Chains A and B, each alone.
Chain A
Amino acid sequence: MDVKVFQFNGCNKCYNETLLLKEDSEYSIKFISDPKSWKEEKVNVSVITGYIVPDDLKQLSKIKANSEKVIAYGSCASTGGVYALANQKGHNVTPLQNLIEDSQNIKGCLGEIEELKLAIDGKEVPKLKNLCEVCSRRATCEYLDEIKRQIELDDSGTCFNDLGFLCSGFIAKECKEKCIDYNTPCRGCKPSIDRSGIRMLGLFGTLAGNIEIATEHSVKGATDKLADEDDDLTDGLPDIVGNFFRFTLPTSGLPKGRIPSSGTLLEDLFIGRLIEEVPLISGLLGGSKSISLTLKFIESYEKANEIKVSEQVKKFRSELLKLEDELQNAIDKEDSTKYKEVTEKIRKIAGNMNLSNLFFSGFKTKINDSDDFDDYKTHIFEIVEETYKNGSVEYKIDSDGILTEIKIKEGLV
């Protein structure tokens, strides 16, 4: 079967993952990293990866006209993905289904290669369980007393939401990346229902039912009404867009954001995010530089605030950086066996390809069974308002820990 993989804009993590299709000899597979220079020819299946903007419509219609089937692979192509957070600042990242008809979606960041194989073969993708059903943590579904932005990692048996730590597992399907296994709450890259972010927001509103909200006396109605001022609820959730709509902003049914843009798309998607979420977002941006970018964010913060980092952490981090180079080599040579080998090594340390295990001052879960976890365990860190700089990355956070300015010199886009 003739398969062509097209990489549009942004992160190329899913594009790289399609290397694994080469292991199946029945496909004649070709990778096209620059769809603009593609010469039209008939194709059985076209796989679209990366985020899409309306300007790509010309290329997409060419692809659509020449292929029997079009598959949007990964969160970016199917629901907008993490790059669509820039839509908050007026950018126009669009899921594939809005531009061309009859495309099939493989959701998830990173999309699962087994599902893609089934879709290419024309077989049905099996029905998956909800993430909460396969989660090792247990929920009590009681109202929260407070919302926490960071937690100590002692309790591994209670649901994140019950601990006051927002997790979107309710609306997500089970997945391979499984951030929840690495003490990282789910952000719903693989939604099980439409408009998942909006539904999760409603559910979280209910769970937060015990938290104080501000009310005021309405002069006209002579009764109480909801007040406009900030209260415990809004202070606990400084970034609703980034937490609830990280992967699904364009498909959520919300109007397009009108915050003025202040730079490139990559910088826009970071502004307004919380400092403790930044390693998770930069890990998602993938590409060949995701590990070094994430570590630059983390290390600049640690250095400026004199957060102690143990030797063991440094060892793991340098190992990861070495693996990043090896991964790039494997991709350049289109060597699928080597790619598999290196990604397995990265997963061993970083948890998954989204680098869920990486955090400030250490790691979130035990890496080797024989290690002493206390040696490299992360702890709650204090938020300090300052400008942080490390090589090509420079960012500024305010007293709430919200990124207000950012400069990334060697761009991923």
Chain B
Amino acid sequence: MSDCETSDEYIKERIQNIVVFMCNECGQGSANTAGVARMSYDAAIRIIRVQCTGQIGPIQITDALNNGADAVACVGCCLGACHFFNGNILSMHRIKLMKKLFKELGYSDQFVNQYTSRAAEGETSVGDFEDIIDRLTTAIISKGTIKDGC
């Protein structure tokens, strides 16, 4: 691996596309609330609305990463509050396995994550977005992302 500089500008340049799958209920609801309250978040966040995070699994995550995403995250309902049955828990299991898989291949496990949010509170999803960017920054500094190299 080459020695890359990890200045703030470099990191900012590297964070271009973050795919966030948000569930139609709490996740997207929270993002809507944040929009109404005119909260701002990083421009690199690309939201994809899905019915339930239970639809997201390893296939969607690798597709996103292979097509240029720097990080992938899911935002679903709070634990025990899935509007269907247990979709958020199921996708957490799959994402946990993906994290383990990337670790086994020698990458950082910080660029794949699952969060929860509350539809009534916009700051929960905006906080999640900030956390995603923080973690991706750690991954870039430790040279653990897939698109590593200068």
Query: Which residues does A use to contact B, with CB under 8 Å?
Result: 88, 195, 198-199, 201-202, 204-206, 208-209, 211, 213, 215, 218-226, 228, 231, 233-234, 237, 239-241, 253-259, 272
Cα-based distance from A49 to B131 in the complex (angstroms): 49
Return chain B residues, CB-CB under 8 Å to A208.
93
Interface residues of B in 109-137 (CB under 8 A from A): 109-110, 113-118, 121, 123-125, 127-128, 130-131, 134
Return chain A residues, CB-CB under 8 Å to B107.
255, 258
Return chain A residues, CB-CB under 8 Å to B123.
222
Across the A-B interface, the 7 shortest Cβ-Cβ residue pairs: A258-B106, A205-B94, A202-B57, A221-B127, A220-B127, A221-B128, A257-B105
A223/B118 in contact, CB under 8 A: yes
Interface residues of B in 78-101 (CB under 8 A from A): 78-79, 86, 89-90, 92-101
Cα-based distance from A254 to B63 in the complex (angstroms): 10
Q: Classify the secondary structure of A's interface with B.
A: loop
Return chain A residues, CB-CB under 8 Å to B128.
218, 220-221, 223, 225
Return chain A residues, CB-CB under 8 Å to B116.
221, 223-225
Instruction: Return the contact of B93 from the options A205, A239, A256 (Cβ within 8 A).
Output: A205
Return chain B residues, CB-CB under 8 Å to A205.
57-58, 90, 93-94, 96-97
Cα-based distance from A215 to B123 in the complex (angstroms): 20
Specify which of A88, A237, A255 lies most central, judged by the most chain B CB atoms within 10 Å of its CB.
A255
A255/B78 in contact, CB under 8 A: no
Return chain B residues, CB-CB under 8 Å to A257.
104-106
Q: Which residue of A lies closest to B114 (CB)?
A: A226
B101/A226 in contact, CB under 8 A: no
Besides A213-B92, A222-B124, 14 other A-B contacts (C-beta < 8 A): A202-B58, A205-B58, A209-B86, A209-B90, A218-B131, A222-B121, A223-B116, A224-B116, A225-B116, A225-B128, A231-B96, A239-B104, A240-B100, A254-B62
Q: Which residue of B lies closest to A249 (CB)?
A: B105
A228/B58 in contact, CB under 8 A: no
Q: Nearest-CB distance from B64 to chain A (Å)?
A: 11
B104/A233 in contact, CB under 8 A: no
B58/A201 in contact, CB under 8 A: yes
B105/A254 in contact, CB under 8 A: yes
Q: Known contacts A198-B59, A202-B59; is A233 also within 8 Å of B125 by CB? A: no
Q: Which residue of B lies closest to A227 (CB)?
A: B96
B6 at the A interface (CB under 8 A)? no
Return chain B residues, CB-CB under 8 Å to A224.
78-79, 116
Instruction: Return the contact of B62 from the options A211, A220, A253 (Cβ within 8 A).
Output: A253
A254/B101 in contact, CB under 8 A: yes
Cα-based distance from A211 to B89 in the complex (angstroms): 10
Q: Known contacts A211-B93, A226-B95, A254-B105; is A199 also within 8 Å of B58 by CB? A: yes
B113/A225 in contact, CB under 8 A: yes
Q: Nearest-CB distance from B61 to chain A (Å)?
A: 9
Return chain A residues, CB-CB under 8 Å to B117.
221, 223
Q: Known contacts A221-B117, A272-B104; is A226 also within 8 Å of B92 by CB? A: yes
B101/A201 in contact, CB under 8 A: yes
Instruction: Return the contact of A221 from the options B89, B94, B115 (Cβ within 8 A).
Output: B115
Cα-based distance from A211 to B109 in the complex (angstroms): 21
